[in-house]
Amino acid sequence: MPEDTCCTPARRCMILSCSGGSNVGQLSNQAAVELTKEGFGSMYCLAGIGAAISGFVQSAKDVDEMVVIDGCPIGCARGVLKQQGVPERNYLVVTDLGIEKAKRFDLDPADIVRVKDAVRRMLGPDSVRPADDACCSGSGGDGC
Amino acid sequence: MKKIQILGPGCAKCVKLAQNTDQAAKKLGIEYEIEKVTDIKEIMKYGVMMTPALVVDGKVKTVGKVLTPAEIEGFIKE
């Protein structure tokens, strides 16, 4: 297959988020989904990392840039990464933005925007870079 | 026998990683086989975010990098 038919240049910012059973867990997840759709980075599989599946773990270790979004200070996403020896980078806790944790799932769109904006501020404008060595990210953004 | 897989659609970088891997394995003098996995659905089963990726005996060793033969030797020996 010639080089010019290789798939799209890698978005080398991996987004990992909590998806827990609360408003802040789901805000984390939804922010990650929307940031991916907006082309900021690629949401990836925290559960796969937690399950110690080598492709997910190694991808997290080798990716150029990463953002980790936890819903609350319990820090489950952080704990998963620590357990698998993945260095933590660009860590955000949704409750640190002044959003109170509650057992409800009706998300305020303004809160989703707050989380996304906080992620963007954390990484700055150069977080998504064209690939150097990598030739393909088709498997990342399209599912895992 | 060491089973080595190179994950990637077959672009120049994937080809280069495969060449370097072959060189590394030959230098180590081990019995080995290299499989190039180019089908995207098969690649997705490994859970890698980027390609090329190096897999040794079923374990993903590197993702999104074209390694030198010397670097690859280390991963094969692990």
Give residue-wise pLDDT tens across range B12-41.
999 999 999 999 999 999 999 999 999 999
Q: What is the pLDDT of residue A6?
A: 42
Whether residue B65 lies within 8 A of chain A, CB to CB, comes out as: yes
**pLDDT for residue A138:** 44
- The whole-number pLDDT of residue A134 equals 59
Q: Which of A2, A3, A137 comes nearest B49 by C-beta?
A: A137
Q: Is there a contact between B52 and A134 if contact means CB atoms under 8 Å apart? A: yes
Q: How far is CA B25 from the centre of its chain?
A: 11
Where residue B6 sits, what CATH number does that domain have?
A: 3.40.30.10
Question: What is residue A124's predicted lDDT score, i.e. its pLDDT?
Answer: 75
pLDDT along chain A (144 residues), means of 10: 38 90 98 95 96 97 95 97 96 98 96 97 66 49 38
Cα atoms found within 13 Å of the Cα of residue A50, Cβ hemisphere only: 12
The pLDDT assigned to A130 comes to 45
Query: What are the start-end ranges of the H helices in B1-78?
Result: 12-28, 40-44, 69-77
Residue B15's closest CA among B30, B2, B1, B34? Answer: B34
Mutation target to probe the B interface, by most B beta carbons within 10 A, among A53, A139, A142, A144 is A139
Instruction: Give the number of domains in chain B.
Output: 1
Which pLDDT belongs to residue A133?
55
In chain A, where are the structural domains located?
19-123
How do residues A21-37 score in pLDDT, each as one tens digit? 999 999 999 999 999 99
